[in-house]
Amino acid sequence: MEPLRLGIAGLGTVGAGLVSVVQNNAALLRSRCGRDVQIVAVNARDRARDRGVDLSDYRWVDDARDLIGADDIDVVVELIGGEDGIALELVEGALKAGQHVVTANKALLAVHGTRLAQAADTTGVHVGFEAAVAGGIPIIKGLREGLAGNRITRLYGILNGTSNYIMTAMRDDGSPFDEVLAEAQRLGYAEADPALDIGGGDAAHKLAILASLAFGRPVDFDNVHVEGIQAITPMDIEFAREFGFCVKLLGIAQVSEHGVEQRVHPCMIPQTGPIAPVDGVFNAVVVEGDAVDVATFIGRGAGAGPTASAVVADIVDIARGLRLPFYNVPVSDLVSTPHAPIERRHGAYYIRLMVIDRPGVIAEVSAILRDEDISVESLLQRGRDPEEVVPLVMTTHEADEDAMLRALERFGDLDAVSETPLTIRIEDL
């Protein structure tokens, strides 16, 4: 059988890792694919940079778009990144030219996934994107293949290793957010500009992709509710522990009576839950289906090895002749189910108010909660001296999100409240 010929655009950490795997595991890949897997051409911005792998046998192209339609390239591997620009031109051009595509680009798929799926359907080629979500965890294959017979009702998980590392370190060391972030950057767990990670955008890209696969609907990134972890303090993590919870940045997608919820935000979850022990840079995804009940996937969410492993898994599928629709169904069969806004959420909450410790404060707070029909389950106030600013912390029974938002706004108007009120949603996961 003829070899499967690759053109790789992008030779960063993942690209170099992919080259290493293909070179070092050539015999293994041949035995598992029934044919050779060969790298034919590569592209990156800096030809002179030492990437720790031998590139001398491959054709170098200065413009990634030169891979499009090349007669000696069966699969275009896009590892450039970014939702637009060269990455979009390359992937869309390759699909229209009838070339298979493998990509790790979650932003591209979250924003343009439906459009790219239509192009793949038209030419009958395969798009592999296992590496776009949760690194080395085979969650895309899990949804596309292993759980294909299930009606998925909910999926949730830890989709960003940087944020999970920061939350874990804050819990273990008691260090403030800024110090832990700086350490994560020093260790290479966080980018120089960490906004996408700590702000929730990276997890939101991944959640939009998973929700489309799980629920058979067009990708809907614009309607993912996104909050980051910047406001969380070691104090909140310690209070969570006292209440029997841990704090995680989660992506949650589920079908409710109001439509499909897609939200990324910090959550308090029970310490006994399936993903509560998942710490550090690890990711986890839990899928709930009508036949399987619950399936949990845990593994490394980033890094050269895990992500390159996921890229190779897609390449092996193509070498074996696997051809799956982008979303498991043709684009024409996708259903535009309604979007459920965050304001329709109904659940429990953690609230922290930094208040001046003087008589009457609890009465003022209680009056606001009464007016908004919010019932308190637990309450802690740790005052020491009159007029000192202290935390007033409570958890609530289930309440409506819009009522909680109104209450938070009113809390902020109280003279005794010295900082912006903080709330964390409690999820029974």
Chain segment 93-139, per-residue pLDDT in tens: 999 999 999 999 999 999 999 999 999 999 999 999 999 999 889 99
Q: Tokens for 397?
A: 């029974």
Q: Which of 62, 222, 219, 70 is nearest to 133 (CA)?
A: 219
Q: Domain spans of the chain? A: 4-132, 139-300+337-342, 345-426
Catalytic residue (choose from 96, 106, 141, 206): 206
How many CB atoms are located within 10 Å of the residue 35 CB?
15
What pLDDT does residue 386 have? 65
Count CA atoms within 13 Å of residue 337 on its CB side.
21
| pLDDT for 1 beyond 90 | no
Predicted TM-score of the model (pTM): 0.94
Q: Tokens for 396?
A: 């609530």
The Cα 165–Cα 249 span in angstroms is: 10
What pLDDT does residue 229 have? 96
DSSP label at 146? I
Residue 397: pLDDT band with limits 50, 70, 90: very high
Q: Which of 27-41, 324-338, 388-402 has the lowest mean pLDDT?
A: 324-338
Mean pLDDT of 20-39: 95
- CATH code, 345-426: 3.30.70.260
| pLDDT for 65 beyond 70 | yes
Residue 310: pLDDT band with limits 50, 70, 90: very high
- CATH code, 4-132: 3.40.50.720
Mean pLDDT of 193-214: 95
DSSP label at 294? E
For 391, phi then psi, to 5°, come to: -80, 135
Mean pLDDT of 83-91: 95
What pLDDT does residue 385 have? 64
pLDDT over 90, % of the chain: 84
Topology of domain 139-300+337-342 in CATH is Dihydrodipicolinate Reductase; domain 2 (3.30.360)
Q: What is the 3-state secondary structure (H, E, C) of 240-288?
A: HHHCCEEEEEEEEEEEECCEEEEEEEEEEEECCCCCCCCCCCEEEEEEE
Query: For residue range 372-391, what is the model confidence (pLDDT) as tens digits?
Result: 999 999 998 876 666 688 99
Q: Let me know if 248 is a catalytic residue.
A: no
Q: Which of 122, 159, 121, 115 is nearest to 140 (CA)?
A: 159
Mean pLDDT of 173-198: 88
Mean pLDDT of 73-97: 96
Mean pLDDT of the chain: 93
What pLDDT does residue 188 have? 78
What pLDDT does residue 302 have? 78
DSSP label at 201? H
What pLDDT does residue 383 have? 65
CA 371 to chain centre: 37
